[in-house]
Each structure stands twice: as C-alpha cells, then as structure tokens.
Amino acid sequence: MKRDLARLRLVAGLVARDLDRTQAPSSAVHIGDGYVLTVRLGANEASALLGAVAEDNWPDEVWWSDPYREGTLDADAAEAVMDEVVDALLSWGISWPTCPEHGVPLGNCSGVWTCDGPPAHHIVVGSLGQ
C-alpha cells in the first residue's frame, strides 16, 4: 500500500522545524511527488524512497481495523520520515536528535521523540528546541 504524500509532508515539515531549531537553519527536509525524501544539512544531502507502508511493522490486524487505520497510517508516516532523517544525519557522523534535558540520543515512536531519561519522557515532533 502506498503512503499518503500529505501525511509524509506534514511530518517532514515538523522534523525540518526540529532540525532548524537544533542543528542549522540551513537544513531542509523535503518529500517530492515521487515519494523521495531529501535531507540537506550544509553541504550534505541524502535521499530515500518512502513509497510503501511498512505493513510488517503493524502485523496485528487490529491496527488496520476502521477505528485504528488512520492512526496507524499517521504513525507509519511519522516513523518512516523520522527514521530516515536520523539515519541521514548519522551517515554524516551527526548524532541527532538529543534530549535537551538529559543530553542523550532520542528515539522515535509514532510522531514523538522518546527519551529513556530518567525519567522517561517524550517530545512531540515539531516542538524540539522550543
């Protein structure tokens, strides 16, 4: 199943906001019509194809039932964009994002940056560095 471009672009905009606030205002996160995510930071640029929903990540049929389907698609889009941006930066030797409170690398899950703390907490994507 193809991902929804609007969902991907919404998350890309939120991640770009986080990246701008915490790394460099010259960064960019963009998703083109061909489902290609492009990440730029300074002279670095990386691309990844985000066309298909990772249905294996959501194996339980309850995630695809009517009450949860839209949320599952939102979560899948968020995780795809967030993972690829983090991977791009790691390939350039940049560990990002980090928790502003604890200084440790953040994970991500369904549209939030996660920190193991202690205490464990999360930061909604798009609000990092506020």
pLDDT tens for 38-54 read 999 999 999 999 988 87
What is the rounded CA–CA span in Å between residue 26 and residue 103? 23
pLDDT score of 57: 73
- Sketch the domain layout of the chain as residue ranges: 5-92
pLDDT score of 36: 98
Residue 127, token pair as written in the block: 């609000």
pLDDT tens for 59-92 read 677 667 778 888 889 999 999 999 999 999 999 9
Predicted TM-score (pTM) of this structure? 0.91
- H or E, element range at 117: none
Better-predicted residue by pLDDT, 126 or 64: 126
